[in-house]
Amino acid sequence: MRWSIVNDVQGVMRDSTIPPLNKSDGTTATTSRKKVNLLAEHFSRKMTIPDPTYLPLSPPMVARDTLTSLTTTEEEVRATLTKLEEDKAVGPDELSPRVLLRCATELAPHLTLIFGPILRHNR
């Protein structure tokens, strides 16, 4: 075992790369041992997993209004497409926002035809 490790664990070593740490009680941890204990205590509190068997009570969900069907217009689709930011990444459909934005006028009628039945049947 190297003496530098022994000295560090015992707090003898003066050249520490970790500066003194302030404790919650107002004191300061200056030795390596006190710093290690303080950091271990801090991170053990942060990394504690709550009891997985505990389920918080949730209020019952009461729906007063329900959607029977949704509709959209060609203008709504076009307006949504023109709000896209063309420098963003592609989405899960792998379509470039640049293409959707620049072709909004041409795509809006076709997308409206696709979205209509999907929205009407709540899928």
Residue 87 lies in a domain: yes
DSSP 70: -
Indicate whether 78 and 116 sit together in one domain.
yes
Residue 8 lies in a domain: yes
Residue 53 lies in a domain: no
Residue 56 lies in a domain: no
Domain assignment of residue 20, given as a range: 3-46
Query: Model-level pTM?
Result: 0.46
Residue 106 lies in a domain: yes
Distance of CA 2 to the CA centre of its chain: 44
Helix axes 104-120, 74-82, angle to 10 degrees: 120
Residue 7 lies in a domain: yes
Residue 105 lies in a domain: yes
**pLDDT one digit per residue (tens) for the chain, 123 residues:** 566 666 666 666 555 678 899 998 999 999 989 999 999 988 888 877 777 787 777 777 777 777 677 889 999 999 999 999 999 999 898 999 999 999 999 999 999 999 988 887 764
Q: DSSP assignment of 71-98, as one string?
A: ---HHHHHHHHHTS-TTSPP-TT---HH
Q: What is the number of domains present in the chain? A: 2
Residue 35 lies in a domain: yes
